[in-house]
């Protein structure tokens, strides 16, 4: 069907960005097509606001985004005539804080470690150099990655691996969640990428009839993938797909390859075929 309108929601790490280098060169052909056709690209990531703003700038999306696994949603000011209810002005954006504060998350994690004798840590417990080593991020981005407000990536020592399921069930009992996302499990509140998807999409719906496409690679992407008209699963570098995502989304489109090049191919195929 020609002339179909789209809104794209995309994860960053392991989806639009190369899982090891964080580059996106292979995605350029699709990024240019999106720009030429005026298709919004909304970044939906577990990264922090500081990190994500850097990508909004270099990718020149000029669009809304969500950070820290749905912890906060940033609506580009040009998408609303007036500040939407519950939002606060934040530079070029209206921001909703949707998540649970890291103060509460940290308190929960510390209490768990004390009671279970574990040593599960998060980025704030590490130096910038240690975060860079653990993630492969350059030092500047590693520093930005530590400044979290709503989501704690968990570094689980091998000897505490079996405690993760216990942490997950205790988190759920406390109204929190532990979710897999790329390199690390994350401790967070109940808001997720699906929460942020709904919040942002309501301000795009006015244009009417747009098809929503979401792209992701990990469990933390499931809530937005499940809400989109078209879900696209990105393979890992070895070509395999997250088994939980495949089982939950049997009708999802499987991207033809990993990383930015696979992302671009999947996006261009959808637009070309008018899916
Ligand atoms: Mg990812």
Residues lining ion ligand 1 (Cβ < 5 A) are: 11, 13-14, 182, 217-218
Q: Does the structure show a pLDDT above 50 at 1?
A: no
CB burial of residue 145 (10 Å; 0-12, 13-18, 19+): buried
> How many C-beta neighbours within 10 Å does residue 150 have?
24
Give the Å distance between the CA of 113 and the centre of ligand 1. 27
Q: How much is the pTM?
A: 0.94
CA distance 221 to 11: 7
**What percent of the chain has a predicted confidence (pLDDT) above 70?**
98
**Mean pLDDT taken over the chain:** 94
Give the Å distance between the CA of 38 and the centre of ligand 1. 25
Give the Å distance between the CA of 1 and the centre of ligand 1. 30
Distance set, CA 226 to CA 110, 128, 222, 233, 239 (Å): 33, 35, 6, 11, 22
Look-up of token digits 């990990």? 218
Give the Å distance between the CA of 136 and the centre of ligand 1. 14
From the list 94, 70, 69, 67, the residue with the least C-alpha distance to 83 is 94
CA distance 275 to 226: 17
Say whether 192 is catalytic.
Answer: no
- Dump pLDDT digits (tens) for 39-98: 999 999 999 999 999 999 999 999 999 999 999 999 999 999 899 999 999 999 999 999
List, in order of start, the domains of the chain with CATH numbers.
6-99+192-273 (3.40.50.1000), 102-188 (3.30.980.20)
What's the half-sphere exposure (Cβ side, CA atoms, 13 Å) at 141?
15
Catalytic residue among 11, 13, 18, 143: 11
DSSP 252: P
CA distance 21 to 138: 10
């Amino acid at each position: 069907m020609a002339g179909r309108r789209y809104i794209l929601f995309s994860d960053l790490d392991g989806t639009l960005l190369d899982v090891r280098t964080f580059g996106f060169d292979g995605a350029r052909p699709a990024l240019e097509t999106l720009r030429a056709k005026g298709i919004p690209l909304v970044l939906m990531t577990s990264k922090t606001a500081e990190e994500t703003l850097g990508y909004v700038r270099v990718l020149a999306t000029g669009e809304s985004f969500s950070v820290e696994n749905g912890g906060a949603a940033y609506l580009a000011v040009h998408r609303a005539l007036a500040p939407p209810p519950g939002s606060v002005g934040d530079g070029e954006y209206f921001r909703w804080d949707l998540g649970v504060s890291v103060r509460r998350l940290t308190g929960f994690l510390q209490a768990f470690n004390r009671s279970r004798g574990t040593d599960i840590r998060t980025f704030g417990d590490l130096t910038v150099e240690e975060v860079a080593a653990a993630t492969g991020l350059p030092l500047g981005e590693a520093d930005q990655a530590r400044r979290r407000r709503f989501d704690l990536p968990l570094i689980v020592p091998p000897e505490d691996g079996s405690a993760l399921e216990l942490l997950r069930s205790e988190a759920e009992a406390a109204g929190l969640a532990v979710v897999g996302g790329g390199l690390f499990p994350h401790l967070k509140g109940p808001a997720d990428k699906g929460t942020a998807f709904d919040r942002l999409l309501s301000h795009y719906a006015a244009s009417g009839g747009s098809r929503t496409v979401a792209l992701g690679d990990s469990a933390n992407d499931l809530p937005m993938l499940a809400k989109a008209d078209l879900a696209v699963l990105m393979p890992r570098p070895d070509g395999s797909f997250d088994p939980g995502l495949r089982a939950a989304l049997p009708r999802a489109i499987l991207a033809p390859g990993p990383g930015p090049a696979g992302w671009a191919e999947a996006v261009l195929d959808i637009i070309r075929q008018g899916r």
